[in-house]
Structure 1
Amino acid sequence: MGVKGLAAFTIIFIIALFCYMWLYGALDQQWQYCLKVYIAKDQVNSPSLLGRNSSENNVLTPLRVCPGQKFQAGDLLKHLQAAPVLANDVLLKPYLASWDELIKFLKTLGPIMGLVSQEIESKTSIIRKLAQKEEEDIKRLLRERQSEAGQVSGSSLPLGEPFPNSYSKLPGGAEGGAYVSVRSMMEAELARGLVDFTQLTVSGCRTLLRLHRALLWLQLFLQSLADEDEGGCSPAQLCRDTYRLTLAQHHTFWVKQAAELAFKAMPERAFFHRLVCAKTPVETVIILHMVSGAIGEVYNRTQLALEEHGMLALP
């Protein structure tokens, strides 16, 4: 294999490794930042940092439908705002729908980032499959209870009406199963022994943690993009720096090198004005703050739930 062939093979290998290991590993390293304000490591998860500009910029700029493109900032914001519920919880259905829109966003940033989005999409599909199986199990058990009731009384209950005292025997309880919200998923998987704190296992909680780390990266990137002046750091630099502050803390050396290649192909700032269909740069700033603030609200609630259940370091 010649020198050129070896170089091409190396680049392909790094990209493939990056996509496979996007949310895995750990290696700390010192970095230089383009961001105007250095964010200390212990401040990255601070509620005062995430979404700090959302209220002051929530004045309302209409989120227009952008013709001819899959990503719509309005759809993303709608799902993000539907996710938070009472008791510091997050509904999983709009949470995953928010990721669907963020995946579309990543795919607009170039082919390599599109490959990254495929890995994230595989994470959302894990939770969706678990939720689907849960729903099917509940429906099956309800039919069995109704059949038993019909045999005893000579009549059956209408489909969907619970048999008295049967919900306590159903997985996840009476509110539609374990995978309704972040907290219900955590409590159910812990009770069933699906979460292993010592070795890698496939669970909704572990998968959520990987998505959670990626969410912080995207939240800080959008926030820094809104905060940075037109003549300041490029989107590529901001994306690189926010990655180094967040996901890089959990990635190996080779994954970090592949990430650097991806950031070099990042579009210029004018691309993001068009992406959110803003008429002026000021309008772009307001929209980006609205979206990053909504992401911050979802992130903070998920962070609190992970902390309370001791899940921030799941293998």
Structure 2
Amino acid sequence: LVCEAFEKCKENVAALSLENYLRGYMELYRFFGFLGSVFSFVASDVLSKITILEGYLNSEIGEHYMTIQAMITYENTNNLLRDPKRPSGARTLLRLHRALEFIAAFIGTISTLDSDGKTSTAAQECSNKTLAKFHPWLIQNAALLAMYTLPRKQQLLEKICDQQPPQDICVLMKQLQEVAVAVYDVTQNLYEEYNILDLP
């Protein structure tokens, strides 16, 4: 479902579908649930941001939020990118965008681990390469410590596999990583083009 949503999101790289981006992210939110309480703080933050963006998408100004490009253009033109009175859609998406880099790296790494591999180590390494650069030292260390409680790969797959063989899940994880990276790269280029990667 995540792969399908992200594939549809990037069908037209000049008009990234915000609806499909959020649809894919809602499925990733469910994945966080399998990781236990360690990711509960991440999951709640993700859900709040999805809710904000869905609110704009379903509002009277929703036509300006159909695509990520349209949203950024609209907010930039109307001086809404840094408006303290309302959460900017572009800023809200930027937080999801940063987390997507971590998620793609983490899921891709899990897919290559041995069955007894530590997902905790994978999460810590991926976090250090991605999310850590945006968080102060205290939050970084708290997150790394919490990640020690993550299960080994086999245990995680048993939670999410249902009736599917683990090897099939690993193939899907690799596909998910590839499509998530593709969406991440297009979005990253867009934010660079508008010079808004530093929205506070």
Q: Same fold (TM over 0.5)?
A: yes
Paired residue secondary structure (1:202): coil
1: CA distance, partners of 2:79 / 2:173: 40
Matches within 5 A, 1:128-139: 128-135=54-61
State the secondary structure of the residue aligned to 1:300.
Answer: helix
Unaligned 5+ segments in structure 2 are none
Partner of 2:177: 292
Please list every run of at least 4 consecutive aligned residues from structure 1 whose deviation after the TM superposition is greater than 6 angstroms: none
Secondary structure at the counterpart of residue 134 of structure 1:
coil
- Matches of 2:164 and 2:18, distance apart in 1: 33
Q: Which residue does 1:207 correspond to in 2?
A: 92
8 Å CA contact retained: 2:119, 2:151: yes
Q: Which protein is richer in helix relative to its size?
A: 2
Q: Distance in 2 between matches of 1:200 and 1:234?
A: 44
Q: 1:225 to 1:200 in 2, by over 3 A?
A: farther
Which range moved further: 282-291 or 305-314? 282-291
Distance in 2 (alpha carbons) for counterparts of 1:254 and 1:236? 19
Higher relative contact order (CA 8 A, sep 6+): 1
Percent identity between matched residues is: 26
Q: Does 1:310 align with 2:195?
A: yes
Per-residue CA deviations over 1:195-216 (Å, capped at 9, x if unaligned) read 139x896200111111100000
1:93 equivalenced with 2:19 (yes/no): yes
Alignment map for 1:250-261 (pairs within 5 Å)? 250-261=134-145
TM-score (structure 2 length as normaliser): 0.90
Structure 1 position 221, deviation (Å): 0.3
Structure having the higher Rg: 1
Q: Which residue of 2 aligns with 1:224?
A: 109
Q: Name the aligned partner's letter for residue 236 of structure 1.
A: S
CA contact (8 A) 2:5 2:20 kept: yes
* Structure 1: gaps (5+ residues): 1-74, 136-175
2:80 is aligned, of 194, 198, 219, to 194
Q: How many residues align?
A: 199
Residue in 1 that maps onto 2:125: 241
Backbone CA RMSD of aligned residues: 2.1
Residue 148 (structure 2) aligns with: 264
Shift of 1:230: 3.5
CA distance in 2, matches of 1:277, 1:288: 15
- Give me the TM-score of the superposition, normalised by structure 1: 0.59
